[in-house]
Structure formats: C-alpha cells, structure tokens
Chain A
Amino acid sequence: MRLLGLKTFRHGVHPPESKDETSGLSIRQFPFAPLLIVPLVQHMGAPSIPVVEEGQEVERGQRIGRPDGFMSVSMHAPASGLVRRVALAPSISGRMVPAVYLEPFPGSTQEIEDGTPCPLEATKDEIIAAIQDAGVVGLGGAAFPTHVKLKIPDGKFVDTLIINGVECEPFLTTDHRVMLEESRDIFTGIRYLLKVTGAERVIVAVEANKPDAAEHLREAFPSDLNGSVEVLQVKYPQGAEKMLFSALLGREVPSRGLPLDIHALCCNVATAAQIGQLLPRGRGIQERVITVTGPAVKRKGNYRIPIGTPLRFLLEHVGVADDVNRVFLGGPMMGAAAPSLEISITKGTSGVTAFTDTAAERTHSPVYPCIRCGYCVDACPIFLDPSMLGRLAASEQFSTMADEHHLMDCFECGSCSFVCPSHIPLVQRFRGAKAAVRKSKAGAA
C-alpha cells in the first residue's frame, strides 16, 4: 500500500520518534563489568545446558552452554575470565533463570578466540547448524532462535527475504547505527540467509527517518545480489514483520499462520549483521549493540555491550538522573519494565531506556470510561476492536474475546493504549486475557 509516495501499512500510530539524541552517535565499546551474569535462557525455547563449572577458567568466545534440542541455541563466554557460579539469576520476566556468573580477568587482552569457520559454500544444513552454534537469535527483541526460522520444511518455499531495518520503536537507534557502520557484515549475512532459505530476492526495509542509512545501503548494495533497499513511511509499528509483509509485498500472514505460508521470511538487520560477522570466523555472540537512552540517562549512546552486563553496572557507567523512576529494556512502546537492576543484558535487548518522574508523568493521567472515540479502532494494525476487547476484558469475558473478537491475533504493539484518551490500559488487559485463555486451553487439553 502506498501513501504519499512511500509504502506503508494501514492503521498504526505516530509516537514522537525521540531518536535525534543518539542517531548520530557512533557505536562505542562498553567496558566489562566486574561480574557478568549470563543467563542460559535468553531466547524463546529451551534453556541452554551449561558446559562449564564453578572455578573453571574460560576464554572469550568459548562455548559455555550447548543447545538443549533444536529449539535452543549455544551460549558463549562474553569475556575471558573465571566462572564463579552456575546458579539462578533474576530475569526481565521476574522469574529466576539458570545463569553463568563470570568474573572477567582484569587487564586481560580479551582477544577473541576464532572457531571453525562456516564458509558460504557450506551446505544449507551446515549453515543452519553453524547459526545455532553461534547462538544467533532475533536481535529485534523477540529473541526467537534464528536457525529454527530458517529451517524451511519440505513442501514450503521462500521467494522473498526481508531484512528489517525499520526500527519503528521510539528512542532506539541501534539498527540505524548497525546499518551505517556494519553494512559489509549485513550483506555477508544476507548471502548466508539467501542461500539457506533459497529466496530469489532480498528487500532491505528502512523507515524514511533514516535516509542516511538507506542511501548508504543502496551504495553498498552488491551488484550481484538480486534485491533492493525500500524506504517506508514513518509509522509505528512498521517494524512488525506482519506490517512489513503487507507494506512491501501486499501479502498478509494468515491469522495464526507463519510468514512461510506467504513465502516470505523476515530477519532483523542486526541479526543479519551478526550472522555475517560470526559465521566466517566460527564465533558466537558475545556482545550486541544497544541504545542506552531516555530522559534520565546522562551519557546517551549506542554501545556495543557484552552479553550478561548487569543493568546496574550499565546505568552507573552512563550515569542516570536522580529522579529516574522507570527503566525498561527495549523502546517505550513494547519494552518491558525492569523488575530490578540486578537483571542483565541479553541477546534480545535492543535498548535500555530510563525515564524520570516528569517524563513518566503523562502516563499517570486519570482513567476515564471508554467514550467510544474509535481512536484505537483506527490505530490497531490488525484491525481488531480494542474498545470492545477492553470492555470484555473488564468483565473477564476472556473466551468471548478469543472466540469472537480475535484476541489471540493481538501482538501487543501498544498502539491502542498509546492513543486511548481515556488512558485505559488496554494492552495490559489483553496480556492478562491472553494468559487466561492459554491457561484454560492448557487445562482443557
């Protein structure tokens, strides 16, 4: 669908972008914390099985966890150091998860150990295994194991690979910087991805607020690659893969279906860059680019941060305002509030945003009854009726929500809550309702 000459999807919202303060800042290396806490479950799926023990010395890049089955990935040491403990650690979900507590050697050169490279000439299965072994997950935030997505079942095919550089979340500029600074790795990654998926072409999608990135990628686009860089209208949630498919291909993923059903596959631009960086060197993920930003952060920026860096160390290093009152991982639309500062940075963390009292004030507004203004109906990219769903949720009619009003198609983008002039916490209600529906389904099965 085209509007104003640029492709986009229907509905959606326009939150303030708030990217100017960090979009021009180059990626900087972040120091090692005195203690890194590397969770063994940073992805959707089974936790990795630890292959190190207490007191063991590990080298940077060494494997410290092996995948537990196909729906799991490897985990690597983000630093050379000493394994202090293998024990539970707090996580963003509020639950305790198994983790490796690693104390980096002070003053070590921190050279990275190269493993066995996986060349582009390798077979599809070898590349998929190498991606799993490198511990690659979707870096856009969902942290779905990438190799699982790339394993195309028999009888299915992919014609278009979409590389997602939209970054529609306000405040975040990691993908922007990665596109500007790591284009070579991105295109190497794309070659691996094209080979594994068998896609004929690649589309790199960039939102119109990053013209420098789009221009840079166009210039750097290898002439032998079949594909293009597409600039999309600035609108949230353009970066959701369903919205990308409808904007770029005019195809809709069937309700409850998979992108494979419409012969498309979407991969975050930072994920592609990681694949292009790691596979030729036989390495695993040890760090990732994260935007540390928000009104409460003093030294905002895009940092390459070791996985397992505790949030408290990170915030102390960049400095936060005295009146900080909310910290969340990711951007303000979909990011999860940190339950404590003892949790650590994981592969799925695309940003750390800290708000002050004043910045958060607006979300303390009083809740009014629904006035049926229809803003949410015009915002929902899935074409649900959030107003009706909200009323049903308030009276706990969860099965009606799921059966008649497509509750389970909601992907919690937050657009409805963002526009609601009555400040009804719609998405929060939908999360609770979805959990209740899943529970009752599990109970019935």
Chain B
Amino acid sequence: MANGGKTLEIRTSPHILSGYSVDTIMFNVVLALLPVAGFAVFAFGLAGLLTLSMAVASCVLTEHLICRAAGKPSTVGDWSVTITGLLYGLTLPPSLPLWMVAAGGVICVALGKALFGGLGYNTFNPALVGRAVLQAAFPVAMTSWIPGFAAGRFSSVPSSTLTLPFTSPEYDAITSATPLALWKFGREATATSDLAMGFISGSAGETSSVLILVGGVYLIARNMMSWRIPASIFATVFVFSGALHLVDPTRYASPIFMLFSGGLMLGATFMATDMVGSPMTSRGCYLYGALIGVVTIVIRTWGGLPEGVMYAILLGNAVTPHLDRWTRPTIYGAKGKEAPT
C-alpha cells in the first residue's frame, strides 16, 4: 500500500499554520519585559527584586490553584499570567509591603482574570485591576516611594517591605516624590534625560523609558504587538499636553515631560496593548489610543491624583467592544453595490 498500511488523516484546510502560537507570543512579551524588570532590580536592589518576585509568584500560584480547584489543567504554561505578574509588580512602589503585593496578586488573577472566564475573556487588564484595588485600599503605601540607586540597596530592604500582614507600614525618612508628584504639588520639573534613563523615583518598572521602548520595538518588529496603540497614545499625549503647555507653561508641564514621566511608557507599551482588552480594527486602535491619551492628561492635569494612566487604560478596556463595533470595516464588495441580475 502506498501509505504502508497507515491510516490517512482527514482534516480540513488550511493544512499549514503560521507557526505563531499564544504561548510563543506571551513568552516573547515576557522576554521583552525582562530588561525592564532587570533595571528595576538594579535601581531598587533587594526591594525591587522581592516586589517583582512576590508579584509574579502570587499571580502564577493563584492561577494554578484556581485551575486545579476548577478541575481543569493548569494554564500557567501559556505564560500570560507571568506577564500579568511582571506588569503588576512593575507598577508597584518598590517599598510596598510584601503582604500587600501578594494580596494584590491574588486579586489580579482571581478578580481580574479568572472571574471573567480566564485568558481571552478578561475585559480589563488583570495587572491593573489588582493595582487599582491596592490603590483604593492602601493609598498611603501605594504612594510612598523610595529613591532609586540608594547605597546599600543590595544588602538591606526598606523596613516597610517586611511589614507583617494586616499591619500598616512605617516609612523611613528617606521616601521621595515621583516627578509627577513633584510637578503636581510643587510645579517642579525633572530633567528629561533623568526621566528617559530612569534616574528617578517611581514604581519599579516605570522608571526606564528607554528599556521599555526597546522591548516594545522588539515586539512590534516580531508582529506581536500593535504599533498603532502606543503611537496613538504618544501622539495624543504630545499634542494635547503640548497645546496646554503653549497656553501656560507654568501651569501645564511640557509634552516631553508628560511622555516620559509616570506610568505612561509602561502603560502605553505593555498594558494598553494587551491583545485581550484592546480593539482589533486599525481605526479602533487609533481611537482607543487617543482616548487613553486624553484621559491620562485630563487626570494628571485636573484630577486629584498625580497619575492617571491606570484609570485611562481601564476605561479604554471598557469601551473596546464598542470601538470594535463602531469601527468595523466595510466588507469587500459592499461599496457601490449593484443589484446582481
């Protein structure tokens, strides 16, 4: 017999696949985030390392246990929960008590992901869901920052890090303010070069814009990330804050400052682009980016908080299904329709 007595498989076309797979995409996002995470550890020492490790561990473990409890195979192998853990950790102040980090990690996955139905169904970015809950629950701890590059950062941790669960941390005298807070509450601008390179205070991962952009460019080059979303966010932020800055440079920060400060780089590059929560159409991506850009600047400029990227992205996530529906392209052949005879 031509096939050596073997059974032939009957499957429907196409018989070849592109080779892209959910787990390879997610793994590459993890790779792209590693330099950012590495810089966070470099800048904040043991505190950064512990925060990130606890964030990833709590997220991964929560997903694994939820899968087990539901009697389903564990989905941690698709790497998506690792991204959630890393992103979540990178948005936290490096001195946040570890028990809060762990609690937030559980919330990220349980509330932000599993409750919605798991990967593919999570309307909101799980990392930001966890962060938003922490922000509401622990406003002081979530806005207490340690300076980067402190001497002895690899040999000791801030006292707040090891705070016992369900107790409030006490902060060292050496907490410092983020550039956005400096501007918001003191109209004090930070040098752009410091912002870009990351020689500032802030969340673990929002400090190095350059490394964030390197990771983003890598993913865009591999067609694993939409370039339209960050491009639209950056353009909107630049134009909107630039216009305000022209009106009154003493009240409104410069567009370069707005672009490079706070969580904008990390959010626009790695969180707004989360495939599950962002639109699929090109026009939808532009609108989504514009919305996030506008809301960010509105909150930063007129809101009570110095930073608004998180809420802007969560709002963008919420309107994504509508954006997809409004921007659905005209199908081939629908234009200039003639009655077929």
Contact = CB atoms under 8 A, between A and B. Distances in A.
A328 B16 contact: no
Nearest to B73: A366
Interface string A300-343: 00000000000010011000101111111010111111111100
A60 interface: no
A377 interface: yes
Contacts of B331: 255, 382-384, 406, 409
A383 B330 contact: yes
B333 A417 contact: no
Contacts of B324: 385
Contacts of B72: none
Interface stretch (A71-79, A130-138, A179-187, A421-429): A421-429
A360 B15 contact: yes
A362 B119 contact: no
Interface string A367-385: 0111111110110011111
A334 B331 CA distance: 21
Q: Which of B13, B17, B281, B335 has the largest count of A CB atoms less than 10 A from its CB? A: B13
A261 B332 contact: no
Interface in B291-341: 324, 328-338, 340-341
Contact of A335 (B15, B21, B78, B340): B15
Contacts of A338: 8, 10
Given A312-B2, A363-B17, A377-B281, A425 B12 contact: yes
Q: How large is the interface on A (under 10, 10 to 19, 20 to 34, 35 or more residues)?
A: 35 or more
Interface stretch (A143-151, A212-220, A246-254): A246-254
Interface in A167-201: 170
Given A257-B337, A371-B275, A335 B8 contact: no
B259 to A, nearest CB: 26
Interface residues of B, number: 52
A115 B134 CA distance: 87
Nearest to B26: A371
Contacts of A372: 120, 275-278, 280
Given A337-B9, A428-B12, A431-B12, A370 B332 contact: no
A422 B78 CA distance: 11
B22 A422 contact: yes
A414 B15 CA distance: 9
Nearest to B16: A332
B333 A255 contact: yes
Nearest to B11: A337
B71 interface: no
Contact of A328 (B13, B18, B280): B13
A95 interface: no
Nearest to B277: A372
Contacts of A333: 13-16
Nearest to B225: A373
Contacts of B336: 252, 254
Contacts of A371: 22, 25, 80, 119-120, 275-276
Q: Which of B6, B22, B24, B121 has the largest count of A CB atoms less than 10 A from its CB? A: B22
Nearest to A341: B2
A61 to B, nearest CB: 29
Nearest to A251: B336
A180 to B, nearest CB: 26
Interface string B267-299: 000000001111111100000000000000000
B280 to A, nearest CB: 3
A13 interface: yes
A258 interface: yes
Contacts of A255: 331-334, 337
Contacts of B2: 312, 315-316, 320, 324, 341
A324 B281 CA distance: 40
A443 interface: no
A337 B10 contact: yes
A242 B277 CA distance: 33
Interface string B21-65: 111110000000000000000000000000000000000000000
A228 B190 CA distance: 63
A438 B45 CA distance: 65
A417 B15 CA distance: 9
Given A255-B331, A423-B17, 7 more contacts: A252-B336, A324-B2, A337-B13, A338-B10, A374-B275, A382-B331, A382-B332
27 contacts: A242-B332, A256-B340, A261-B340, A315-B3, A316-B2, A324-B8, A325-B8, A327-B8, A332-B16, A333-B14, A333-B16, A334-B14, A336-B12, A355-B15, A360-B9, A360-B15, A362-B17, A370-B120, A371-B80, A371-B276, A372-B120, A374-B275, A375-B18, A375-B20, A382-B331, A382-B333, A417-B14
